[in-house]
Amino acid sequence: MKAASSAAKVAGCLLGLAWSIAVWAADPVATVENVVGTLSARTPDGPMRIVSQGSRIAVGEILATEADSSANLKFTDGTRVAIRPNSRMVIDRFRYAIAQPEQDSSAMSLAKGGMRTVTGLIAKRNPQAFETRTPVTSIGIRGTDYALTLCAGSDPDCARVKVPVALLSGDRLPLPGLYLSVFEGAINAANNAGNRNFAAGKHGYVRDADTLPVEFEEDPNLLREYLGFHGLGSSINPFDAGPEVCLVK
């Protein structure tokens, strides 16, 4: 049994390595810096692979964390993205042209859960080229650090999100929609109903794609999910992974 188990682990590592080589050939745009728990990646028409610290991520890949799992990515322009548990995001496009800023382009989609983004050089030199999409709004930035959390129905993952009483459901959970916080810089949330700017220290809520984003005063506590994110001065880092058994690079 032990031999069979070891063989299965080796096969899994080799499969991950083979898929990693294919991703490398597809011009990876980000590297996984840390993983706690399980982070998977797949293309819409390809197999799923389990990725780990050092794995390369390419445009078009769908990234997903499981319960009690989180991950930290670093993009080639220095942008950092932290993914919270039970989340799914897609790198829709990414182009960082060092000598041609006018060709810069970055778009990511958050389909489920939450993410925190600290923007890099693309946003610094060409902010209109950076975009984060969600089912209810599109986020434009002005060189920034911000967090987004999608809540759906009676979502237990949103139980720790603090919101005004008016945004609580009958079971005392946050209403479905997108919650956001801006820690540095500014963002613009736009959808079918219009758009709204959110400066540093501001928080907001977007109910759906046809409802205008609103601002509220109470801190929804989104930062708590990402204490210790690189460069933000906290000694607590929930993205520090333990020893890796099989590094897929």
The total domain count for the chain is 1
In a domain, 101, yes or no: yes
In a domain, 232, yes or no: no
**What is the spatial order of strands in the sheet that 194-199 belongs to?**
49-51, 39-42, 62-65, 88-95, 105-112, 130-133, 138-141, 186-191, 194-199
φ, ψ for residue 95, nearest 5 deg:
-140, 120
pLDDT of residue 227: 62
In a domain, 184, yes or no: yes
In a domain, 104, yes or no: yes
In a domain, 241, yes or no: no
Whether residue 231 has pLDDT greater than 90:
no
Whether residue 100 has pLDDT greater than 60:
yes
pLDDT over 90, % of the chain: 62
Q: Is the distance from CB of 212 to CB of 194 less than 8 angstroms? A: yes
Sign (positive/negative) of CA torsion 10, 11, 12, 13? positive
In sequence order, what E strands does the chain have? 30-36, 39-42, 49-51, 56-57, 62-65, 70-75, 80-83, 88-95, 105-112, 114-118, 130-133, 138-141, 145-151, 177-184, 186-191, 194-199, 203-206, 214-216
pLDDT of residue 244: 33
- Four-point Cα dihedral 61, 204, 156, 144, nearest 10: 40
Domain that residue 208 falls in: 2-226
Q: Is the distance from CB of 115 to CB of 148 less than 8 angstroms? A: yes
> Is residue 9 very low, low, confident or very high in pLDDT (cuts 50, 70, 90)?
very low
Q: Decide: residue 245, CB within 10 A, 0-12 exposed, 13-18 middle, 19+ buried.
A: exposed
Q: Is the distance from CB of 31 to CB of 247 less than 8 angstroms? A: no
In a domain, 117, yes or no: yes
Between CA 139 and CA 97 the distance in angstroms is 22
In a domain, 240, yes or no: no
Tokens for 71? 């991950």
At 16, which CATH number? 2.60.120.1440
In a domain, 124, yes or no: yes
pLDDT of residue 84: 92
What percent of the residues of the chain are helix, what percent strand, and what percent coil, each to the nearest 5? 20, 40, 45
Between CA 94 and CA 56 the distance in angstroms is 14
> Is residue 184 very low, low, confident or very high in pLDDT (cuts 50, 70, 90)?
very high
Q: Facing residues of 40 across strands?
A: 50, 64
Tokens for 32? 């996984």
> Is residue 21 very low, low, confident or very high in pLDDT (cuts 50, 70, 90)?
very low
**What is the spatial order of strands in the sheet that 80-83 belongs to?**
56-57, 30-36, 70-75, 80-83, 114-118, 145-151, 177-184, 203-206, 214-216
Q: What is the mean pLDDT of the chain?
A: 82
pLDDT average, residue stretch 130-145: 93
What is the maximum span of the chain, computed from C-alpha positions, in angstroms?
Answer: 61
Q: Facing residues of 115 across strands?
A: 83, 148
pLDDT of residue 239: 35
What's the pLDDT tens digit per position in 41-57? Answer: 999 888 999 999 999 99
Among the residue ranges 90-94, 159-163, 244-248, the one predicted with the least confidence is 244-248
**Residue carrying the six token digits 């778009």:** 107
